[in-house]
Amino acid sequence: MNNRTITGLERSVKFLTILVVFIFSMLLCRLWYLQIVKGEEKYAESSNIRMRPIRITAPRGNIYDRQGELLVTSRFSHVVSVVPEDVKDNPYVVRFLSQVLQLSETELFQMMEESAKYQKDQYVPLKRDVDPAVIGQILEAKLDLPGVVVEDYPVRYYPKGEWGAHLFGYLGEISEQELAQRRSLGYRLGDEIGKMGLERTYDLELKGEEAVRIWEVDRVRQPIRVLEEKKYVPGHNLHLTIDARLQAVAEQAIRDQIAWAQAQTNEQYNKANAGSVVVLDPRNGEILALVSYPEFDPNLFVGNISRAAFNELINNPLNPFSNRVTRGKFMPGSTFKPITVLAALEENLVDPGETFNCTGVVRYANRQLRCSQVHGKQNVVDGLKNSCNIVMAELALRLGPERLASYARLLGLGEKTGLKLEPEELDGLIGDPEWKKKARGEPWYPMETALIAIGQS
């Protein structure tokens, strides 16, 4: 072998050596970059890929009456949850879930897109209170459903159905507007919250603290095992002043009374279709029963209420969602008459022994005020006992509208009671000449004073 050949080999070896050193240097640089510079970021990415958190709702607190009778509770059912990022691009999974959950594919995509805005890498609830037979189908196909998980779920249960619907309220999924207001309190998209009644007013106290379960998933997004778990804390219980026995009597009484009225021939009665009942303890003002009719069944909103059922409630002309106890504005009728008598006695405008003659009708200008019957001669006590319109009208004219209205306000009429029940109660209205002039630009007439005295204005 000559010197020229040896020199060529040496050059080749040097070139290969340099090339190998260069390649390994590049690999080492890349490895250093990935492990040192980007190490934490890449670790987080890989962790996100193999970990999927799921939030599990805590059982809400129970609601009891004053004797400890259970009125509202929770029962355990199942919820089907998905990771939007893992499911939305898998047509088989979407089609399967659409069929078994009886949701259109459009609905599924809308729900996942909405959830993905906030929690694309987390399990989010797709449907609650799912039938056990459907759960069985999902579990049988589990290996073909990456990104899908079934968990136990506490479902609100109202044992008495419509009974007390406006008092208790119902639950529904949190809206974007509600979420914006409550995110700082720990609420998240997909949460169920109280929509009205005590469920709304005391939602924070009732809802408890959710559990969090971190699932490890494999490369095809199938859950393998639980890596970490935080147990839930059940919500606080509510103990009410309501007496379940009186509530049941009031519920039946309003139904019986409306049925009786509708059976009458008098149009003043037979068009009755709504009403309310409140029973108070006169010693302390505690509410013993509260009924607004017509009602609705809060259990309809458990899981997912059907569009047809929801539309039927919303479009009902009697508006069953309206709490007539706290939101209705009605003339007080004869319940106002004791105030008229009280004001006249307090102002020394009538002597308890003074007699009035009820002829059954009294005229004011071109209008007539009638009484239920001709009572004849009676004093103010008899007039109150007989609910006589003629006696009350005479007392009101002596008082004048301003003084009569001031006594009504002094006793709290027209003002909010402070009852903590969502939606917030509306205040009432006590009319007088000044109010009418401002509101309507019209003068006050004597007949209006008489009508206030008998609770018809």
Which residues in 121-268 belong to E strands, given as ranges?
Answer: 124-128, 148-157, 171-173, 192-194, 211-217, 223-230, 238-239
The terminus-to-terminus CA distance of the chain in angstroms comes to 127
Spans of the chain below 50 pLDDT: 42-48
379 and 395 in contact (C-beta within 8 Å)?
Answer: no
Q: Is the peptide bond before 223 cis (omega within 30 degrees of 0)?
A: no
Could you give the percent of the chain with pLDDT greater than 70?
89
In this predicted structure, what is the pLDDT of residue 384?
95
Q: Which two tokens stand for residue 60?
A: 């809400």
Residues ≥6 apart with Cβ < 8 Å to 446: 364, 365, 397
In this predicted structure, what is the pLDDT of residue 35?
66
Round to whole Å and give the CA distance between 137 and 127.
15
424 and 411 in contact (C-beta within 8 Å)?
Answer: no
Phi-psi region of 441 (alpha: psi -120 to 50; beta: other; left: phi over 0): left
In this predicted structure, what is the pLDDT of residue 73?
98
In this predicted structure, what is the pLDDT of residue 87?
85
In this predicted structure, what is the pLDDT of residue 377?
95
**Sequential DSSP letters for 39-108:** HHHHHHHHHHHHEEEEEEPPPPPPEE-TT--EEEEEEEEEEEEE-HHHHTT-HHHHHHHHHHHT--HHHH
pTM of the model: 0.79
In this predicted structure, what is the pLDDT of residue 77?
92
Residues ≥6 apart with Cβ < 8 Å to 254: 275, 276, 277, 291, 293
Task: Count the Cβ atoms, other than its own, within 10 Å of residue 34.
Answer: 12
In this predicted structure, what is the pLDDT of residue 307?
77
Q: Which two tokens stand for residue 216?
A: 């490890």
**Sequential DSSP letters for 231-281:** --BPPPPEE-S--HHHHHHHHHHHHHHHHHHHTSS-HHHHT---EEEEEE-
In this predicted structure, what is the pLDDT of residue 7?
63
Q: How far is CA 421 from CA 290, 405, 425, in A?
A: 11, 27, 7
Q: Which two tokens stand for residue 21?
A: 């050193």
196 and 169 in contact (C-beta within 8 Å)?
Answer: yes
279 and 288 in contact (C-beta within 8 Å)?
Answer: yes
226 and 215 in contact (C-beta within 8 Å)?
Answer: yes
